[in-house]
Amino acid sequence: MPVNLRGRHLLWLKDYQPEEIRFLLDLAVSLKEKKRAGVKGNLLAGKNVALIFEKPSTRTRCAFTVACLDEGGHAEYLGKNDIQLGHKEDVRDTARVLGRMFDGIQFRGFKQSTVEELARFAGVPVWNGLTDSYHPTQALADVMTIQENFGDVKGLKLVYVGDGRNNVANSLMIISSKLGMHFVIAAPKELYPDEALLKECRSEGEKHGAVIEVFEDPREAVKGAHAVYTDVWASMGEEEKLAERIKLLRPYQVNSDLMSLADKDAIFLHCLPAVKGNEVTEEVFESAQSKVFDEAENRLHTIKAVIVATIGNL
């Protein structure tokens, strides 16, 4: 049965079936080939997209903007000082106004509840560009990058090292459980993932042959990994915790010694921006194993796939 995602939100990937995720990844591959060939598209002709940003961004903002332009659409950036969201106007009213004017809405901000409320009242697809809880478009780009290097991701070992309860770790755990991957978090016990989400992903993973594990010892976790992933030690909004995190997470730095324990063909991934010298060394970041800029480019292609699949003229 053909996959049809028209009108769907993308809030966290929990409610996407494996075949729907694979459809988005396959679409992203074809859109990447199209762009590389210099073919200008019209799959978003006449479509207007609102981009709401409470948090700053390089990759997410640029990816959504270029994705729309590449396929003949228009993206309107709405920074936190440009609209009344959550200040003079509540979320539901903002959603209902923007939903009358735009064909889709991207939200990048703090609370997961905000993007969910936008989706509840907008009447058009809403996409999560990042919240404190989830980062689904990043996870799609990450898996696309792994796929480009290894082919089918089923059974591949992806190890996330560092803050095991942040938005990226959460989203990688969800997508791994859907696609039958072997996903491992290496983190100090203070930063283990949420127990309820861990249980939910393990249950989902059983249906698709996925293995979800958590280790305190990063060296044990990384053994045989096909991809080693890390992120900043203090996420946006947690800057005051940086000194404490540096002390806690120093043993979890991804360096050449840690990478040597992974598979000989292992790749290094990071959602960026990176604080080199903290979560990853310059040596690993600039090594041949590092695929971080392929990964960054793939934000564009996977985000374009999401927009096209949900509001485009497919």
Residue 149 assigned to a binding site: no
d(CA 291, CA 149): 9
Q: Out of 22, 61, 299, 301, pick the active-site residue.
A: 299
231 is catalytic: yes
Q: Out of 106, 112, 138, 289, pick the active-site residue.
A: 138
Q: Out of 135, 165, 226, 301, pick the active-site residue.
A: 135
Q: What is the DSSP string of the chain?
A: -----TT--BSSSTT--HHHHHHHHHHHHHHHHHHHTT----TTTT-EEEEEESS--SHHHHHHHHHHHHTT-EEEEEETTTS-BTTTB-HHHHHHHHHHH-SEEEEESS-HHHHHHHHHHHSS-EEEEE-SS--HHHHHHHHHHHHHHHS--TT-EEEEES-TTSHHHHHHHHHHHHHT-EEEEE--GGGPPPHHHHHHHHHHHHHHT-EEEEES-HHHHHTT-SEEEE--SS-TT-GGGHHHHHHHHGGG-B-HHHHTTS-TT-EEEE-S---BTTTB-HHHHTSTTB-HHHHHHHHHHHHHHHHHHHHS--
Residue 87 assigned to a binding site: no
Q: Out of 108, 182, 226, 301, pick the active-site residue.
A: 108
Residue 69 assigned to a binding site: no
Residue 231 assigned to a binding site: yes
In sign, the C-alpha dihedral spanning 81, 87, 88, 89 is: positive
Q: Out of 142, 226, 270, 271, pick the active-site residue.
A: 271
Residue 57 assigned to a binding site: yes
253 is catalytic: no
Q: Out of 201, 231, 245, 289, pick the active-site residue.
A: 231
Residue 92 assigned to a binding site: no
271 is catalytic: yes
Residue 236 assigned to a binding site: yes
Residue 147 assigned to a binding site: no
299 is catalytic: yes
Residue 261 assigned to a binding site: no
Residue 235 assigned to a binding site: yes
Residue 25 assigned to a binding site: no
120 is catalytic: no
Binding-site positions for carbamoyl phosphate? 57-60, 84, 108, 135-138, 271-272, 299
Binding-site positions for L-ornithine? 167, 231, 235-236
Binding-site positions? 57-60, 84, 108, 135-138, 167, 231, 235-236, 271-272, 299
Active site residues: 108, 135, 138, 231, 271, 299
